Structure 1
């Protein structure tokens, strides 16, 4: 038997690494003699025995090629250890920043708790105020492999590694030129994809220097909600409780928006004493407003889904350069340069304007103007000629200012869809020296990274100009000298001098182009994120023990992070019909020192082939939260060459990022909220009734609706809120435990082709930094448990006309150190490869069982468990199969997500037990065919979601529904079957 070498040990580590290696890689494996040693993520030690005591998973460049992925996120999301990302093409359309970016979320613990490295070093964030890296900035075809360590690693790499590390290793010492180009689209004719990449490298004649470069271009087209049957029409879920097993939700479809392009107008009739409202049909005729499901719904409601986007279009240009030069055996220099330029555009429906947005005190729009005489005294009251006679005859003075007034809502269709086009540039340069001095290895580096975004948005209105335009009088004196004495002009002379044009909001398409130009308010946002790092490490072996040499690594790192986001002045002042959004700006720096060791305890004993202890400690001084310490302790026991046990215990820390500390109010549109006052009557007696019935607007709503608190579809669809940072946050601490078994039964002929791994993980985070969930805020406020939370909840004023007041309008949330969060479960992998028939067959299964996942919303609260709920599936797996026969090859990837129920806290609002409403399991199948036309050229054809598995229905109104997709587009494929054809070759 050949003696185990360093090289063989590296091969073994690749085999037991875990996770979803595509079988394209398996059949392409070389003989052990040709495989290069790799440095394992999770350690700064360079000793050949410095293997990770925590579970490690590796994906190779062959896996990326076999997936046809345009960006790395597409491949990583098939790994069962990954949770739902905060940002992707299919869930970011409604984000004010970050639309179209791609982040990664290990263990579902959050993007900010997953540390992304490039060649073992930090990479600048892709979103202002955050630490999450945009994977769109990393060229996939320049990646050699991706290493995932799924346990706390802050002691080795610093803050943010609470859930684990994603280490992206780029190609090195490459010679030659490779080209990869492909095109693709979905079965529906959208989601167009184009890709072109060029990788090149050369080495000097003496082998001392190597320079590599990569150019990449990708373009992905939009997918609109209207082009998928399940999301083409606005809809709303409705939970039903039959009192029997199998309770589920119904879907109101259509469930159009109550804010329509022709406008809806409310009045208080002073003659009859009745309140009323009306709208218009396409011909301009006055018609009653229809509630959802009533006659004339198509004429009065508005289908927002006709404008929304499932997948954000994205275009990217990527450039990467790297090089190294060896001066002598003691020193070499390296550099890494990355530049990414991307363009994305989000799209949503035209803005739904309310008179309350214009006249914020009471929403009353004057239908008359009080004219002031030359003596400065009131002279006369003049009617606005644009106000229809039908409305004018039915309105009175409701705010005691002596002028008739009304209220309205109107979809600003003439202004057009709200869209935001973002140009993002990411630049990063890393350089340093490394080498060996007297058997000690050193590595020093400096890094500078910057992400800039310039965003231009459309669809908003200027509140001040709109208010001026709503106040019009007849031009009886021909003030504008155009000979027309019957037209309407703006009543304010100063506004006229600045270009004011009266606006007619009564009916379809009634706003003139001149008025539209006057009230439109294009927006802008400029952001930047800057990262500066300097660090160094030293590692070697300090003395001998009977079982081997003791390894030691030590080093330091200084890091500064800064971020700024500057909206346009109108947005900063809150004069574009939204809340004021001030400039967000902040920075912090940290100085860290770390030490790591590996101690071989026993070797060559019965049932102890090797036994080693590992430890690491890091201390950091933050300018924001002070001192933060992390540590890691692990053990590795190789009983025989076939059996290895690994275990680790770690304390990881995460300091709050800039957004969590300093973010001003940023608007969001939550879904799945349930109003505790819904359906309440004067004699209702439950845990919410005391608080609800004490609110005047709630009682007014009940009085206007036959004694029952009632919500319209506009009320349900119109809830918004603002997330804010908190400068008083402290650091969070995560304690992780992992215990694993690796079986490589080479001594058993029947099993010699198999590799098995099983790892148990348990991660608990104390003082977790979160934005408190809005349903929890409602629960805490209305049950009286925490009345202080009531200040974050805003209800609409008492009813005006037929418009229901008292309903939820805004629910705000801010970052806090909550009671904590945690997760535990088991990862299992098995791989096998051998010759079958004329070719070689490879198979690998990766499976994760989620034992538990919980949040403690507030300190002292009970755990709220989520395992088995939507986005927290109990069982996830990926099976990779590949067969290579001569020039032909086929790879398949099957991804499984088990059935999941709706959130139990959400269901409890309908008196339904946990697990009573479910969505079914899903299986997605991808396949790629390859043909090697020559030794240097390969043609490939791929089909993603080959059987067109439909995403489960998660309509608007259910928790975890992604707006515009009518499913959860973070966890499920909302696009459908897709095809691509490509060519790759070496020149």
Structure 2
């Protein structure tokens, strides 16, 4: 009997993954529902925190009555013996936290014997397909590295969202978004493996595609997946386009939701930062019931995260970083105003109401208003059920609805009359112009409008239903799905550029008859009264929707056998329709001042795909050849076929060598192909502002050095082609028989991408200034100052990412100290080569930070790792985890010199302790960032002087959890 024929009982297994021991049952006894042996063992494994494996066919057909088993000493084995006493089954132990239930006439060696991995915490769903394949393998037999976070690990981390859970994983780097991203965020959360964009990482739920976010479908929004409904998370760190199609270039994050849960569980969480802010609470309830022919489960959750303001942390309280060795990032648009006169003099208002010469010290520090961590709310409901239609066929249903809300606070709107949209020159005869000349360049912060607030809301619905069953040695599944998400964003405290333009003109154009109110931009702060504010005030709104419907059929099983073993195969077909529709309000085609206009996009596509996999044993229990291929046909750009080949070789029982090669692709998103009118004030650097500007071919003299943001207009391109990739990997899996409970994996990876879709405005500016190129995209006025940058998406980039992953785990069991587990997970980026366009220089970004606000790839540390020790004994359990991010480098210009500085490495220590009472009550407390380490300072970080996508600004953070199950 091969182990791949066995079905690990999912909930029982994951409860044993992290904390299983053979003495973990409630001392008051275990009440088990009636039903199939599989269902009963699920309940027993869950109650006793033990990993149980059983042959799928026999477990389903054998029935047991409802019963209560005594476990006076908390021992698992007497309860299992009593359960199997009058059955045709027995069991064998495989390590301290796993048993295999087998027919009584099956010799122990046929269950795998000592060949079963002793690291039971790493067995996920043996006998079901792991992420990255539709075939059924043990995790350590996979041809690609997979990280698994199971339910007990989710509990002990204290994480309350999927984004929090993934943030510190070693393979995650780059520009993941979350509510830690304020200015430039939209309330969504994404994940970026290997530092590649979020659209290069495929997010699945239960192995199936999900709808992407409502603002154009760039990537899946993790905030629409409630962590309380999650059973485990599998992270495949390898390309998988041959298995899943588009987007799986960097890897796959597969969220497995709870299904086999019986009883009622209620959980409450409260956390707060040491400084008394960012108060967060969540509450969830899960109920499940198993009947004679099926199962039904309902999970409800509510999450509330409090705000953390930039001004409340020393690191982020000011944008003036000169004392730290950085630059002054305060804004030239100050409440007193920056006013450029025709004589070349620049003046500002004084406290007494007169004017004096403006200086760099008059810049405005906007950090007093901005939120660093955005307050957010999420409410969700998840329903899952299945019904046995007969012994071979099952009907299943999954439904999920979630509503999210986030509110970002930003500084009051700045006005740059020379560079914002519209004709904003102040007429010489304006009643508020004391200079008697036309004023074209005023930079003023309109405090009278109050801070800008951005409210983001999403509503997401997912519904999957279908049939699955067995036929001989084959399993099959037919799924129909419909997913829908709608998002809205309302940003207030803005200025209508058309009305402001009218209000800055003389009496001939702005008068009472025309309904115009003269606007005073040249007075001191407070000189804009309510009438003026009501005339120019504006509010932007963006509404978007993404839809997906799909029909998928997949089957896998044994196609034959030879003297070397069984041949496994899988095949399937998928039909999918994707559509987006979003638009934003503006003023007569001009973006509101103070906002980023998302523009509009409308598009849809039909995708048809067929796929197949096979696993061929070339030498019995030693050598396997695995292959997969997927053919995809898109209605809007054509078709593509992507293969994958993998070789697994076991020269010794304790060592496996695995290698793979695959091609991949990322289809241009519907927003890539269809977006129009997207405008943003991008945080960029113009080489023409340097003192040596006269020596640069593209400069018309020295441009204005007081600016740090430039109006940029992005556009879609219907002629885009898919991004393509080649993925290579080579790895070792070591499970030494002499060291029971230990495993180690070492995997090298190499990802090469071509035809990367890019819109880098910084690249356009650099090439325009230094080579006099892209004059039609970098628009400058007669003085040489940039008026607008037009960045249209093109297939122009190329990347190569090379590195390695290392994982080690060890489990030790002692009657005196209980169960101890140690783990180490690390990822190393050896190089990250990026070429923005053909002919441009290739940069190695490994170990660097370039803020995404400047078009960069974010933080790409050469080393990122975590390690931890986890302990359980009786009713006690605890954990100590260290997260580490390696040092980085950043480059910027200061005093006309290009400098490179080091961003220090950073480590965070987390501590958790929990105790379970006999009545089903579990109490837990934890401290994140125990040593209260602030993130390292980054001089080029646009938000809060650090990279919120990589580090945590909260400081020491404590939390408590109370859970009750019965």
TM-score normalized by the length of structure 1: 0.82
| Alignment CA distance shift 1:464-1:662 (3 Å) | same
1:305, distance to aligned residue in structure 2 (A): 0.9
**DSSP-derived class of the 2:578 partner:** strand
Partner of 1:326: 388
Q: Is the 8 A contact 1:148 1:164 kept in 2?
A: yes
* The one of 399, 403, 409 aligned to 1:337: 399
Once residues 580 and 317 of structure 1 are traced to their aligned partners in structure 2, the CA distance between those partners, rounded to angstroms, is 28
Once residues 318 and 738 of structure 1 are traced to their aligned partners in structure 2, the CA distance between those partners, rounded to angstroms, is 39
Q: 1:683-710 CA deviation, whole Å, 9 max, x = no partner? A: x4xxxx2332xx2xx2xxxxxxxxxx36
1:664, distance to aligned residue in structure 2 (A): 2.1
1:545, distance to aligned residue in structure 2 (A): 1.4
| Alignment CA distance shift 1:511-1:610 (3 Å) | same
1:441, distance to aligned residue in structure 2 (A): 2.3
Partner of 1:634: 646
**DSSP-derived class of the 1:350 partner:** coil
Residue 32 in 1 paired to residue 98 in 2?
yes
Once residues 358 and 499 of structure 2 are traced to their aligned partners in structure 1, the CA distance between those partners, rounded to angstroms, is 31
Once residues 50 and 545 of structure 1 are traced to their aligned partners in structure 2, the CA distance between those partners, rounded to angstroms, is 23
1:7, distance to aligned residue in structure 2 (A): 7.8
* The one of 349, 365, 368 aligned to 1:280: 349
Once residues 549 and 595 of structure 2 are traced to their aligned partners in structure 1, the CA distance between those partners, rounded to angstroms, is 35
* The one of 321, 328, 331 aligned to 1:257: 331
Partner of 1:186: 273
| Alignment CA distance shift 1:529-1:160 (3 Å) | same
Identify the range of structure 1 (623-632 vs 455-464) with the bigger mean alpha-carbon deviation.
455-464
| Alignment CA distance shift 1:936-1:581 (3 Å) | closer
Residue 94 in 1 paired to residue 187 in 2?
no
Once residues 744 and 594 of structure 2 are traced to their aligned partners in structure 1, the CA distance between those partners, rounded to angstroms, is 59
Partner of 2:710: 719
* The one of 926, 949, 952 aligned to 1:942: 926
| Alignment CA distance shift 1:742-1:411 (3 Å) | same
Partner of 2:690: 678
* The one of 301, 317, 324 aligned to 1:232: 317
Partner of 2:445: 411
Once residues 440 and 50 of structure 1 are traced to their aligned partners in structure 2, the CA distance between those partners, rounded to angstroms, is 23
Identify the range of structure 1 (928-937 vs 423-432) with the bigger mean alpha-carbon deviation.
928-937
1:11, distance to aligned residue in structure 2 (A): 11
Residue 365 in 1 paired to residue 454 in 2?
no
1:794, distance to aligned residue in structure 2 (A): 3.1
* The one of 864, 875, 884 aligned to 2:872: 884
Residue 177 in 1 paired to residue 264 in 2?
yes
Q: Is the 8 A contact 1:225 1:305 kept in 2?
A: yes
* The one of 800, 809, 827 aligned to 2:805: 827
Identify the range of structure 1 (580-589 vs 422-431) with the bigger mean alpha-carbon deviation.
580-589
Q: Is the 8 A contact 2:679 2:711 kept in 1?
A: yes
1:907, distance to aligned residue in structure 2 (A): 10
Q: Is the 8 A contact 2:876 2:916 kept in 1?
A: yes
Once residues 753 and 358 of structure 1 are traced to their aligned partners in structure 2, the CA distance between those partners, rounded to angstroms, is 64
1:919, distance to aligned residue in structure 2 (A): 1.3
Once residues 384 and 655 of structure 2 are traced to their aligned partners in structure 1, the CA distance between those partners, rounded to angstroms, is 39
Identify the range of structure 1 (848-857 vs 153-162) with the bigger mean alpha-carbon deviation.
848-857
Once residues 931 and 807 of structure 1 are traced to their aligned partners in structure 2, the CA distance between those partners, rounded to angstroms, is 64
Once residues 417 and 895 of structure 2 are traced to their aligned partners in structure 1, the CA distance between those partners, rounded to angstroms, is 36
Unaligned runs of 5+ in 1: 239-248, 269-273, 369-383, 399-404, 474-488, 604-608, 699-708, 799-805
Residue 615 in 1 paired to residue 700 in 2?
no
**DSSP-derived class of the 2:233 partner:** strand
Residue 900 in 1 paired to residue 888 in 2?
yes
| Alignment CA distance shift 1:185-1:917 (3 Å) | same
| Alignment CA distance shift 1:445-1:102 (3 Å) | same
1:103, distance to aligned residue in structure 2 (A): 0.7
Q: Is the 8 A contact 1:469 1:502 kept in 2?
A: yes
Partner of 1:315: 377
Partner of 1:502: 518
Once residues 744 and 432 of structure 1 are traced to their aligned partners in structure 2, the CA distance between those partners, rounded to angstroms, is 39
Q: Map 1:904-983 to 2 at 5 A.
A: 910=897, 917-955=901-939, 958=940, 961=941, 963-983=942-962
Once residues 337 and 112 of structure 1 are traced to their aligned partners in structure 2, the CA distance between those partners, rounded to angstroms, is 25
Q: 1:647-705 CA deviation, whole Å, 9 max, x = no partner? A: 111111111111211222423444463524511265x4xxxx2332xx2xx2xxxxxxx
Q: 1:349-378 CA deviation, whole Å, 9 max, x = no partner? A: 1111133368845x432242xxxxxxxxxx
Once residues 899 and 48 of structure 1 are traced to their aligned partners in structure 2, the CA distance between those partners, rounded to angstroms, is 36
Unaligned runs of 5+ in 2: 25-48, 52-96, 101-122, 850-858
TM-score normalized by the length of structure 2: 0.84
Q: Is the 8 A contact 2:648 2:656 kept in 1?
A: yes
Partner of 1:816: 794
Once residues 421 and 73 of structure 1 are traced to their aligned partners in structure 2, the CA distance between those partners, rounded to angstroms, is 20
* The one of 211, 216, 223 aligned to 2:296: 211
**DSSP-derived class of the 1:179 partner:** strand
Q: 1:194-213 CA deviation, whole Å, 9 max, x = no partner? A: 10011111111x1x211111
**DSSP-derived class of the 1:356 partner:** coil
Once residues 277 and 99 of structure 1 are traced to their aligned partners in structure 2, the CA distance between those partners, rounded to angstroms, is 36
1:312, distance to aligned residue in structure 2 (A): 1.3
Once residues 727 and 474 of structure 2 are traced to their aligned partners in structure 1, the CA distance between those partners, rounded to angstroms, is 31
Partner of 1:374: none
Higher RCO (Cα < 8 Å, 6 or more apart): 1
Partner of 2:487: 453
Q: Map 1:434-453 to 2 at 5 A.
A: 434-453=468-487
| Alignment CA distance shift 1:6-1:236 (3 Å) | same
* The one of 112, 121, 140 aligned to 2:208: 121
Once residues 578 and 318 of structure 1 are traced to their aligned partners in structure 2, the CA distance between those partners, rounded to angstroms, is 30
**DSSP-derived class of the 1:33 partner:** strand
* The one of 579, 595, 600 aligned to 1:562: 579
Once residues 358 and 152 of structure 1 are traced to their aligned partners in structure 2, the CA distance between those partners, rounded to angstroms, is 43
Once residues 163 and 9 of structure 2 are traced to their aligned partners in structure 1, the CA distance between those partners, rounded to angstroms, is 26
Q: Is the 8 A contact 1:278 1:286 kept in 2?
A: no
Q: Is the 8 A contact 1:448 1:531 kept in 2?
A: yes
Q: 1:393-421 CA deviation, whole Å, 9 max, x = no partner? A: xx34x6xxxxxx66533211112222211
Q: Is the 8 A contact 1:531 1:562 kept in 2?
A: yes
Partner of 2:55: none
1:519, distance to aligned residue in structure 2 (A): 1.5
Once residues 732 and 354 of structure 1 are traced to their aligned partners in structure 2, the CA distance between those partners, rounded to angstroms, is 38
Q: Is the 8 A contact 1:937 1:983 kept in 2?
A: yes
Aligned pairs, how many?
858
Once residues 41 and 424 of structure 1 are traced to their aligned partners in structure 2, the CA distance between those partners, rounded to angstroms, is 28
**DSSP-derived class of the 1:90 partner:** coil
Residue 157 in 1 paired to residue 244 in 2?
yes
Once residues 251 and 595 of structure 1 are traced to their aligned partners in structure 2, the CA distance between those partners, rounded to angstroms, is 54
Residue 757 in 1 paired to residue 757 in 2?
no
* The one of 764, 779, 782 aligned to 2:769: 782
